[in-house]
Amino acid sequence: MARKSVPKKERQNLLMERLIADPFITDEELSEEFNVSIQTIRLDRLELGIPELRERIRNVASENYSKIKTIEAKEVIGEIVDLELGVSGISILQTTNDMVFEKTKIVRGHYIFAQAESLAIAVIDAKVALTGVANIKYKTPIYAGDKLVAKAQVNRVRGNKYFVWVIIKVKQQEAFRGKFILVSVDSKERGN
pLDDT at 63 over 90: no
Residue 192 lies in a domain: no
Same domain, 16 and 77: no
C-alpha to C-alpha distances, 113 to 3, 64, 182, nearest whole angstrom = 37, 21, 14
> Quick one: pLDDT at residue 65?
57
Residues in the chain: 192
> Quick one: pLDDT at residue 3?
53
Same domain, 18 and 91: no
Q: Give the domain CATH number at 24.
A: 1.10.10.10
Same domain, 19 and 110: no
159 — pLDDT class (breaks 50, 70, 90): very high
Same domain, 91 and 129: yes
pLDDT tens digits, one per residue of 102-152: 999 999 999 999 999 999 999 998 888 899 999 999 999 999 999 999 999
- Please give the residue that has the higher pLDDT: either 24 or 118: 118
- Alpha-carbon distance of 176 to 178, in angstroms, equals 7
- Alpha-carbon distance of 45 to 19, in angstroms, equals 10
Residue 190 lies in a domain: no
Same domain, 42 and 65: no
Mean pLDDT (the chain) is 86
Domain region containing 44: 8-50
